[in-house]
Amino acid sequence: MDVVYVDNNATTRVAPEVIEAMLPYFGQWFGNPSSMHTFGGTVGRKLQEAREKTAAFIGAQPEEIIFTGCGTESDSTAIHAAIASNPEKKHILTSRVEHPAVKNLFEHLSKKGYRTTFIPVDRQGRLDMEALEKSLTEDTAVVSLMWANNETGVLFPIETIAPMVRDRGIVFHTDAVQAVGKIPMDVKAAGVDMLSLSGHKIHAPKGVGALYVRKGVKYSPFLIGGHQERGRRGGTENVASIIGMGRACELAADHLKMQSERVRGLRDKLEKGLLDAVPKSMVNGDRENRLPNTTNISFEYVEGESILLMMDRLGICASSGSACTSGSLEPSHVLRAMGVPFTAAHGSIRFSLSIYNTEQEIDFIIEKLPPIIAKLREMSPFWKP
């Protein structure tokens, strides 16, 4: 079946150039990068090249990059490192709209005795900066805030937040898993202490991530084991995937302009086409400060899951803002934190594009989706045209 894949914030296709770069490291060059022999050393040098490419893409030094198993591991490692380095501090701070990788870890830490603050957002998903500033205390060990929201694409002003937090002697981590590759990024200019990224969101494979740790930031490993990653993350490296991620970073650097022009253009066309054709539909999130590839649209009085199922029959892959938990449809915590009304939060769909989407695909969605919404509304007891 041909699929129209507009779910790139969930995961992305591995770029053909990335696959090509990885293949020799499954077969011919299977050596362990830590081995003393020349064969392993050759692999070690390729690993170092991938580190240089990943670092260059975000404006870091190679030795500031630690390869991990995924974005979630990078987030966990950063937050655990920050609290372990400041054992006397018992307050940690994040936002109400974080990905579960951070949100659930904060909830876990709150059960372990940490005082946690979840900063609210407004109706557009923008962070309450005043609340943030007021919540920073001498007891705060770490502030972890996402750069871009995975559901709405809304960007937090990381360049403004990082100095505000660091000036108070607090460690600042950002989950940039969705932002990397979609907007230009320079960790030095932004002034962050730690930053998480994930391979499978930037056309590299699943199961590889990286954590940037600014030189001088206190760090302690999460995975304790061998001397890999200079003793900062034990475990033999996922060599082929790391090499793939290095290549993906190079490609993403070349594609940034395409993201901000072509992908943004397709996203805007899709958004306008659907809003024009479907009454009682609206975009969730700040339309100005947003990733170029993401739109989250609510179609009132229909269930997101039903829309997804009907789109799925046509091969259209997207995501809904509600998750089916224990039989009941629970609207996403992000849309709830934004105060999106219940009737709209339930019918929200996230479309997230990539450089591989075409104009024909966007036209196909604009043609097929409005009749689906109309049909579902006919069946809804709440819908009044």
| Of the candidates 199, 183, 152, the residue with the CA atom closest to the CA atom of residue 295 | 152
CB of 71 to ligand PLP, least distance (A): 3
Q: Is 175 in the site for ligand PLP (CB under 6 A)?
A: yes
Q: Which of 299, 282, 296, 272 is nearest to 383 (CA)?
A: 299
Which CB atom, from 96 or from 377, has the smaller least distance to ligand PLP?
A: 96
Total number of residues binding ligand PLP (CB under 6 A)? 14
352 binds ligand PLP (CB under 6 A): no
Neighbours of 42 (CB within 10 A): 13
198 binds ligand PLP (CB under 6 A): yes
3-state secondary structure of 37: coil
Provide the sign of the torsion angle of the four alpha carbons 264, 265, 269, 270, taken in this order.
negative
Residue 239 and residue 49 in contact, taking contact as beta carbons nearer than 8 Å: no
Residue choice 6, 65, 70, 248 for contact with ligand PLP (CB under 6 A): 70
* C-beta of 101 vs 274, nearer to ligand PLP: 101
| Radius of gyration, CA atoms only, the chain | 22
CA–CA–CA angle 14, 15, 16 (5° rounding): 115
* 72 is a contact residue toward ligand PLP (CB under 6 A): yes
Distance CA 290, CA 15 (A): 24
Catalytic residue among 70, 249, 317, 324: 324
- Name the segment binding ligand PLP (CB under 6 A); options: 16-24, 65-73, 137-145, 226-234: 65-73
The 10 Å Cβ neighbour count of residue 379 is 9
CA distance 78 to 222: 9
- Residue 68 or residue 306: which is nearer to ligand PLP going by CB? 68
SS3 sequence of 129-196: HHHHHHHCCCCEEEEEEECECCCCCEECCHHHHHHHHHCCCCEEEEECCCCECCECCCHHHHCCCEEE
Positions in 12-41 near ligand PLP (CB under 6 A): none
Question: Is residue 71 at the binding interface for ligand PLP, with CB under 6 A as the rule?
Answer: yes
Near ligand PLP by CB under 6 A, which window of 19-27, 64-72, 211-219, 281-289?
64-72
Which of 4, 6, 55, 101 binds ligand PLP (CB under 6 A)? It is: 101
Q: Which stretch binds ligand PLP (CB under 6 A): 17-25, 57-65, 153-161, 173-181?
A: 173-181
Q: What is the widest separation between alpha-carbon atoms in the chain?
A: 73
Q: 175: which strand partners? A: 146, 196
Residue 146 touching ligand PLP (CB under 6 A): yes
Is 324 considered catalytic here? yes
162 or 366: whose CB is closer to ligand PLP?
162
Binding flag, residue 150, ligand PLP (CB under 6 A)? yes
Q: How far is the CB of 78 from ligand PLP (least distance, A)?
A: 11
Taking the CB of residue 80, how many other CB atoms lie within 10 A of it?
Answer: 16
Helix, strand or coil, per DSSP, at residue 227: coil
State how far Cα 239 lies from the chain centre: 23
Q: Is residue 197 a contact residue for ligand PLP (CB under 6 A)?
A: no
Nearest to ligand PLP of 70, 187 (CB atom): 70
Stretch that binds ligand PLP, among 13-21, 81-89, 172-180, 224-232 (CB under 6 A): 172-180
Supply the minimum distance, in Å, between the C-beta of residue 16 and ligand PLP: 21
Minimum CB separation from ligand PLP for residue 98, in Å?
A: 7
- Counting contacts by CB under 6 A, is residue 209 touching ligand PLP? yes
Does residue 154 touch ligand PLP according to CB under 6 A? no
Residue 374 CA to residue 365 CA, distance in Å, equals: 14
Contact 176, 148 (CB under 8 A): yes
Binding residues for ligand PLP (CB under 6 A): 70-72, 75, 99, 101, 146, 150, 175, 177-178, 198, 200, 209
Residues with active-site annotation: 324
